[in-house]
Amino acid sequence: MKVLPKADFPRFFGSAIKRPDLWMNEIHSLIALIDAKQFKALEQWPHGALIRRALEGQQVKPGGFVTVLLPGPLPALVGLMPASGEPYATLALAAHLVKGIARYRPAAVGIITLVEASQEPMATDALVSAVLAATEAQPTAKRTPPNAWRPTALRVRSGTPKRTLASANGAHLARWLTQLPPNVLTPGSYRKAIGTLARQQGWTVDTYDERRLQRLGAGAFLAVTAGSANRDAAIVHLRYRPKKRSTRAPIALVGKGLCFDTGGHNLKTASSMLMMHTDMAGSAVALGTLLALTQINYPHPVDAWLALAENRIGPKAYTQQDLITALDGTTIQVAHTDAEGRMVLADTLTLAARSKPAAIIDFATLTGACVGALTERISGFFTNRAQLRAIVEDAGHVAGERMHGFPMPDDFDEDLESPTADVAQCLIGGKGDHIYAARFLSRFVPNNLPWVHCDLSAAERIGGLAHVPHTITGFGVRFAHALIESADFQRLIAP
């Protein structure tokens, strides 16, 4: 399948979420989050006394839940807010509630919260996000598709914030694309899918194909693509502009989009190569974030720069000890052909920086070292602004997508010194590779430009993560959405 068909494009959420006045008469099941301090207020709910007796009778602790069969019969899964009150823990609890209610396969689900006013938006967001993540359509080539539970309506007592739905759509897009097999999502079909989405969302598209990149001198990107039999690799530039003109420079989202990574001549083993169709997750996160911001009518411009390529083996594939000249003139000594992500990002970051954005945020499944340091539960990041570290970590906390900041001292550059070029691509051996990768990339971002590099160690996790039940987590969209909307980030990048 060379072209991504319209049937293999996700349908976004929206029409099924309603807030009817007589919502209790229109649901077939209930999921609820309750603060233990609010037990007395349960008496005001329909069947609240029954729910309270169940919680007290089973001695449910904060972070736990109970199943209650209400008159109707109406199955209900009721959870007590975690003692920590943290978004991640709340999202994880919401996932348990949704898993429990899914056994009943209800056609309409009601969502209700009884928590402190300050926690209500977060609690509602967790429940809605968990339902949507559990019931979103998955790409499949089965002749008989799985009989998945898909409720026809989601009734939210307190209303659903627009940003919850936008983040869910963005993350759904990221997960959908990342799951597609490498013979379906090639750089060429990916470009066509992006074109379709751009027309739907009103984005403008500018494509830097291989011929154009050759003319510009983007040797780092082209070194990686040289081994591919297809000449469909490209850097795709998308522009979102709000309807009301903004005087601000755009935020630039940069994504690594390796649709398949063999490792090149430094070939991966079978087990390491098995999931390398997901090495484009960074580009999917950048694209999903752009979609989420578009759907909330974000008031300032945003650009996305997607590096779409493959790292294949062929007679023209780049090799160790090659000398490569990047787009900005930097010469690179190739040390390992499986360090291709930092090569395609080098030229993509250069292009993004030349557009004079307010800030750059890049996303990449870049190093195994970051997974080794953090596992698949947390993603790492690096930044060239000390004040950004706390802002980024706080955004990850708020989103329930935890981010950990690593140091990036410039003395690490001593180890990347090359006898034949301006810089060595990487070290052989793997110690601290996530730090060396960040130092390498920092060469292609001007010091006067705020920059965050996200190494997506949590892009995949068997069994899912937080509210997401899928191995492909879509991690990064919720975080990036929260970061860009945060007041502290806005103050830092404001002119």
Stated as kind and residue range, the H or E segment containing 220 is helix 219-225
In the block, residue with structure tokens 């999903």: 288
User: Is 342 considered catalytic here?
Assistant: yes
Measured CA distances, 224 to 116, 138, 307, 324, 386 (Å): 53, 31, 11, 10, 32
Residue 331, φ and ψ in degrees, nearest 5: -95, 140
CA 182 to chain centre: 19
Taking a C-beta distance cutoff of 8 angstroms, is the pair 356, 251 a contact? no
Tokens matching residue 269: 């083993």
Residue 67, Cβ density class (10 Å: 0-12 exposed, 13-18 middle, ≥19 buried): middle
Contacts of 271 (CB under 8 A, 6+ apart): none
Residue of 18, 248, 268, 385 marked active site: 268
d(CA 154, CA 18): 6
Residue of 52, 163, 342, 402 marked active site: 342
User: Is 61 considered catalytic here?
Assistant: no
d(CA 33, CA 114): 6
Q: In what order do the strands lie in the sheet with 251-261?
A: 204-209, 234-240, 302-311, 251-261, 359-364, 451-455, 379-383, 403-405
Residue 413, φ and ψ in degrees, nearest 5: -65, -25
Taking a C-beta distance cutoff of 8 angstroms, is the pair 423, 352 a contact? no
State the catalytic residues.
Answer: 268, 342
